[in-house]
Amino acid sequence: MKRLILLVLVFIGLNSYSQDKGEILFAFGTGQSDLIQFAQLDGAGSSYGLGCYSLSLGYQKHLNSWLGFRSGIDLGYHRFRFEAAYDPNFQFEPKYETAYVLSIPITFQTNFFKYFFFNAGALIDMDMDYTDYVDS
């Protein structure tokens, strides 16, 4: 019992000590993705999102009591289905595409009052593979 209490106190102490140094963040997400195309044509084919996964690793540091810094790296996987326009003379099979997107966010957070903050920064996105149907 003494060892369990000591172990819990050590982890509480490590957690309190690590907050002064900065935080390492890890996140995993899944969801439904939609493909947004800038040119919609009447009679053209259709596109559908089949789902997405996201994996994130980040670092957050409080520079002082009112200013913080956050950066990291995010990897996103998206899957899409494309169908050609209907033609009674031909039978087209749907085409499946995947997109891998690497994002690097760099943000600053300004805290004011007790429960309010303002977060702003830059986001760098890179397409990790060439996809014909994704607009640049």
Q: What is 38-49 written as a DSSP string?
A: S---TT--EEEE
pLDDT digits (tens, 9 = 90+) for 91-109: 788 888 888 899 999 999 9
Distance CA 70, CA 117 (A): 14
pLDDT at 135: 55
Q: Looking at residue 129, what is its pLDDT?
A: 77
- Enumerate helices (H) and strands (E) in the chain, giving the number of each: 1, 5
3-state SS assignment for residue 10: helix
User: Does residue 89 or residue 124 have the better pLDDT?
Assistant: 124
Q: How confident is the model at residue 17 (pLDDT cuts 50, 70, 90)?
A: low
pLDDT in tens, 35-86: 777 776 776 777 888 889 999 999 988 888 888 899 999 999 988 888 888 7
Q: What residue segments make up the domains of the chain, in order of their start?
A: 22-127
CATH of domain 22-127: 2.40.160.20
